[in-house]
Structure 1
């Protein structure tokens, strides 16, 4: 009976062409258990049930779940995130989600600034991940950094050859890299290229061993023109490997910042300002503080930071992050005060409330009251900033509310990218006739089911702060 049930289920699965990874859904076994509990004779929902009443019930269920989430906006605030996408009919679509800042397309930038002009208590902020990706793109621009461009081109030749030939890829994974890959997909295009350089450098010894082993020498690929070129590149081009090491040394701090802002588990608003500063200092140190060596790279970072990414909101986040503000090595308290005051002026339009915040800032700045408790001092770098303010900011309720709202925001629009992957999964070539409302309902239900699942599975380290030690 058990085997027959498994076979029947598998037959339906294959006939419906359902992806195998659907079996990993947390709702998979739950659905099977509910059918088994009813017993023989249960009739599954029909085509019309699934696209009509059952879908609407799930929309209502998600709205009930989101009711509690929306109540949190009163405490933590929220950001509206927008991103563009073009469907298979080349119809442009704009997606809106609530949580983190937006992309940096000129249209979005113009719209954001107009909104800031219209609504005095509104902040437009670009997607930090996209801005940092543009910095990495500038690092590989052949006009300004031809050596980096050429090195990445050679690295692509190696990875493309290996990944285009299954036998070579299998040989590398099984005998030399212990199943690990050279290509590591990242959230952005150029980060992927620099991460691949890191992997090539890490597995340099193993790659050289592979291109001299008997399996390679005896294979037909070793006699192929492209195979010979790639083997020569790996075995004989010493300058290539030296450049790989140098490029990894320069780009690694920026890639680490990109990873920091990409995470939507822990808001990074309180860390971005200091993280970018540390990344620049790290690049200078790696280039032995030689001005002629580091200036081309720090100039790229500064240009993007000053013209696109920098916002008083990031500065305020840094000021209100006790783990950074009270650190003895942090010397920019006066510099970031201006950004904090600018943020207060925009986000808090009421003059009386502004005055209250101004007076309460002194208590925080001088660590008075609960801020100066031994426990509060010990927890500055042990708790994430939001949790710290919730515990120790009760003596300054207006400042506590303001700090929690600022520090709860994300800096990246990658959540929107994930929504598009959901949208594209649902709006495929085979399903491109879905009505607009039904399509929206499907995306809404699926995306929020995944969001609810993620919140349930959050680990204890959610309350831990983000560590900037990796940037040193």
Structure 2
């Protein structure tokens, strides 16, 4: 009912709840159209015919915008960032009651060590590696923090019984006594090792997708194997069901038809019966109908897929079978896909797509370092040019092959974290713009 309210003798109408909802809906639609226009402008820069796949983070506004785009341009497909998906899985894990206590004790120990410079120096006399500071803004950093603590535990035990530490006032405080108890508590570290074992497969898959490498074909199988790995690590059925449910909830929120198509074409899983999966086959046929309206084209690709699946022609040679586990998927199709040229072209197009947007997001970090208080007079175009040069200079200096093979069967453990990785991941207290190397590079670019 419309309410009549008089203010200063002038009556006016308050909108009803339904009217307010309609107004909000109109505003949301207008915002989505604005965001869609920005996406279309980006597409026009490279040409619509050259856009195959769009990856963004999983924000609701991005989902709604890309759904509108798919409805109007169905050939362009979209999926949320897999790095964010896996990181959210680990965040869900960290909220489980039995993990919260383990992580809190780890944070307490790290905070105690890092908040006292003398203790940092004492630990450095026993090990060149340092504890990692907890950070909410880094992927899986709580679990990486615990991995480092497990690695440093023997050195921490030596430090806590050393004369240099006992002579310090911190050794006699309540915090120091509590942290010393944590370090020497075998039961606690056994539980930490079990927690890391449960989460290790998630972290390995996160490490894979959070790189500038085409690994989108590994995602679907990797998620399936993740559940099986947790089953092997977790003997408690209630805990397993809880962990598996968390993974399923996130995966179905982030899953895309494109992931199934990439899994179907990834040579690492050639002949493994992908077509027997009802979901994968459904997504594959749906994708072909969208991308190839002509039946003859679809029929040709399906026939060539049968040859690929049955290891016929160039798909079944000795070299092609050896290369499946030594070469990247795109390189494999370039070298061994000539028996099915139509399928070869499609496979290269699909498997060369990114599965994560996190690598692009790092450009914002570079932007933040350049647009600092020391360079607050730079115009936007100048900053954009500097970001472009800085980013591409880093790519040129990289010795990593773009199509380097990273397979699910390559290793079951998290790759060793180097000190360079720590510098890239860890948020330091000091301003990175003070680094002479950074200053010199920026001065040259300016």
Gaps of 5+ in 1: 1-69, 81-100
Q: Give the SS at the match of 1:189.
A: coil
Give the length in aligned residue pairs: 365
Conserved 8 A contact 1:207-1:234: yes
Pairing 1:226–2:171 present? no
* Distance (whole Å) between structure 2 residues aligned to residue 242 and residue 469 of structure 1: 27
CA deviation vs aligned residue, 1:404-459 (integer Å, no higher than 9, x gap): 011101211121222011111111123334323223222233323333333xx335
Q: Give the SS at the match of 1:409.
A: coil
Hey, what does 1:102 align to over in structure 2? 56
- How far does residue 186 in structure 1 lie from its aligned partner after superposition? 8.9
Q: Where do 1:375-394 residues align within 5 Å?
A: 375-394=319-338
Q: Where do 1:159-170 residues align within 5 Å?
A: 159-170=110-121
Distance 1:248 1:464, change over 3 A: closer
Distance 1:345 1:115, change over 3 A: same
Q: Give the SS at the match of 2:230.
A: helix
- How far does residue 182 in structure 1 lie from its aligned partner after superposition? 2.5
- How far does residue 173 in structure 1 lie from its aligned partner after superposition? 2.4
Hey, what does 1:147 align to over in structure 2? 98
Hey, what does 1:313 align to over in structure 2? 258
Deviates more, 1:354-363 or 1:414-423: 354-363
Structure 2 counterpart of 1:325, from 270, 287, 308: 270
- How far does residue 205 in structure 1 lie from its aligned partner after superposition? 2.8
Pairing 1:115–2:61 present? no
* Distance (whole Å) between structure 2 residues aligned to residue 188 and residue 322 of structure 1: 35
Q: Where do 1:24-423 residues align within 5 Å?
A: 79-80=53-54, 101-141=55-95, 145-175=96-126, 178-183=127-132, 189=138, 191-235=140-184, 237-264=185-212, 266-288=213-235, 290-307=236-253, 309-326=254-271, 330-335=272-277, 336-423=280-367
Q: Give the SS at the match of 2:324.
A: coil
Q: Give the SS at the match of 2:353.
A: coil
Conserved 8 A contact 2:53-2:76: no
CA deviation vs aligned residue, 1:277-327 (integer Å, no higher than 9, x gap): 112111111124x532311101100110012x211211111111122133x
Conserved 8 A contact 2:52-2:76: no
* Distance (whole Å) between structure 2 residues aligned to residue 205 and residue 453 of structure 1: 37
* Distance (whole Å) between structure 2 residues aligned to residue 211 and residue 138 of structure 1: 33
Deviates more, 1:398-407 or 1:363-372: 363-372
* Distance (whole Å) between structure 2 residues aligned to residue 320 and residue 438 of structure 1: 42
Q: Where do 1:445-464 residues align within 5 Å?
A: 445-454=389-398, 457-459=399-401, 462-464=403-405
Distance 1:379 1:188, change over 3 A: farther
- How far does residue 171 in structure 1 lie from its aligned partner after superposition? 1.5
- How far does residue 140 in structure 1 lie from its aligned partner after superposition? 1.4
* Distance (whole Å) between structure 1 residues aligned to residue 265 and residue 230 of structure 2: 26
* Distance (whole Å) between structure 1 residues aligned to residue 344 and residue 273 of structure 2: 23
- How far does residue 209 in structure 1 lie from its aligned partner after superposition? 2.5
- How far does residue 227 in structure 1 lie from its aligned partner after superposition? 1.9
* Distance (whole Å) between structure 2 residues aligned to residue 115 and residue 353 of structure 1: 25
Distance 1:366 1:185, change over 3 A: farther
Conserved 8 A contact 2:264-2:275: yes
* Distance (whole Å) between structure 2 residues aligned to residue 198 and residue 224 of structure 1: 26
Conserved 8 A contact 1:137-1:190: no
* Distance (whole Å) between structure 1 residues aligned to residue 299 and residue 333 of structure 2: 20
- How far does residue 193 in structure 1 lie from its aligned partner after superposition? 0.4
Distance 1:220 1:284, change over 3 A: same
CA deviation vs aligned residue, 1:7-42 (integer Å, no higher than 9, x gap): xxxxxxxxxxxxxxxxxxxxxxxxxxxxxxxxxxxx
CA deviation vs aligned residue, 1:209-241 (integer Å, no higher than 9, x gap): 221221111112112332222223323x45432
Conserved 8 A contact 1:250-1:286: yes
Gaps of 5+ in 2: 1-45, 414-446
Instruction: Identify which of structures 1 and 2 has the higher relative contact order when contacts are C-alpha pairs closer than 8 Å and 6+ apart.
Output: 1
Deviates more, 1:148-157 or 1:461-470: 461-470
* Distance (whole Å) between structure 2 residues aligned to residue 115 and residue 227 of structure 1: 57
- How far does residue 255 in structure 1 lie from its aligned partner after superposition? 0.8
- How far does residue 189 in structure 1 lie from its aligned partner after superposition? 3.1
* Distance (whole Å) between structure 1 residues aligned to residue 82 and residue 135 of structure 2: 15
- How far does residue 79 in structure 1 lie from its aligned partner after superposition? 4.5
Conserved 8 A contact 2:211-2:359: no
